[in-house]
Structure 1
Amino acid sequence: MWWIVLGFVASSAVGVAAALAVARRGEPRLTPPPWNLYDMAKQHVPIMGGLAGFSITGIVILVGLARSQPGLSAAAMDTVVVMFFVSFIFYISNAFLLSYIPSHESNGEIVYRVHFSLASTMEYRTIFLSWFALMPLLQMHGLMVPASILAFVLPLSLLSGTLVIAMVADSLGLITFKESYVLFGIGTVLVLALAAGTPLTGIQTQSDYSTLTVSLLIFCLNGLSFAVVGLSPLASRYPRVREFLTRHGRCLVVIDMLLTTISQMFLWLAVASFI
């Protein structure tokens, strides 16, 4: 499991350096967004609440199954419960963040855009964490046909989801659609190269707890993102916070997009038993 953590850190370090090079080549475009972000944020809050209910219900069902079917794989059970629990935490957390989106009138044009963009990518990571939990859940019960279908459908859904977060970032004027896909490409190449090259060193890459390890890495990434986004409502009262988010907001979004790609690629490889 430790190679996953070290590999994630190493690929993130290289990727962040490349992402910052991308960020320095452009500037935010502060044209009006195509939606009212405050209404959009309000509409997302009940969605997050419903998804949180889905996650906690999944945990309750799994606990009941563990009691009635004691022969289930402990590693698979641990993994699915952790994935649903991490999803539950950040569905609730993201609902709070979206409800506290700061006003552009008192914070300028960039702060609230950064807030919404980072919250959107956190939502993307959390949704796919809970969706990917269905794979080990089905495998645990020996339902290999639907598991095989999900193995095909989930990566396509993951790819389709990139259209949404790239569209949001572009519409907010923080990074362009093209830049998002450059970042997706960088993250994908780094992770696939790492996954292909690590076995050549003799390191045992496969583990029953690979998916659980990646889930905890996503927990850390979401926690860091929550801390950054949680600062933005303070921008109107603390000039240094506003200055930091205004000056570095584009870089934060670029880095967040890159780390999102790396985390989702690790998640897919783990769930598909490649690592």
Structure 2
Amino acid sequence: MTRLRAAAAVLAALAALEALGQPWPIEVSVGSEKPQWGSPLTYSINVTALRPVRVRVRVNVLEPGRGWSGWIVLWDGDMAAGESRVFRGESGGPARLGSYVIWVSVGFVSPHDYQVIGGATYYALYDVVHAVTVYDPSAEYWYSMYAQARNESEQLKRAREKLEAEAAALRANLTAMRAELEKLRSELEALAAERARLQSENAALLAERSRLEGENAQLRAFALKLETQAKTALAVAALLAALAVTLAAALIVAVRGGQAQRPAAPPPPPPD
């Protein structure tokens, strides 16, 4: 009953410590080396004091096929603020296949972290559990093969995603090119229709030109004919004019000759 009251008192003190926002006076970390087949499993415990404190480091290891080793005290003593200590240990025999559990329990007491009940000092506890699995060497080989295959699979997956993205971009470009091609085809059809229209107009213009050229040839021939007729008329008119002049001259001469041969008229009678 006394132990229960002591544990409750320690827990209450720790709860009050956390409620006040004060940090734990120690930091504990546990690590282990990669198990070597046929050799004991080695582990290390790092304890750092954040303020002056007395600690007791204990460890209990669960080994495959052997069970718990039981609590072993690795160290019991005082630590100054900022001091760090590393404690090492190993399993009770060669590493076996299976999972190891390293349970580290660090009790600590300081002027701020302890409880004395019935003349006995009760430590607060900081527990850390670390697990490690020992595999069969062949399993490690197959695991490495699996890891390699997984890495290759990830690389292939990334390559596939890249190719899919490129394919999507190419499909988008192809769609755009098809749309552009349809647009060009429509424009080509419009140009072909315009060309046919222009060819039709050109044929009509050529026909009109041919007709006008025919009419022009007729008009030129008619003008040439008129010009020839005009020249002939002018020649005839000139000839007639010359003939008229000749006749007029002959007439004048004849008139003058008749006047010369006529007798003179008698003088008028004298006046009364």
TM-score w.r.t. the length of structure 2 is: 0.19
From the two aligned structures, give the one with the greater strand fraction: 2
TM-score w.r.t. the length of structure 1 is: 0.19
Greater RCO (Cα-Cα under 8 Å, separation 6 or more): 1
Give the structure with higher Rg (CA).
Answer: 2
From the two aligned structures, give the one with the greater helix fraction: 1
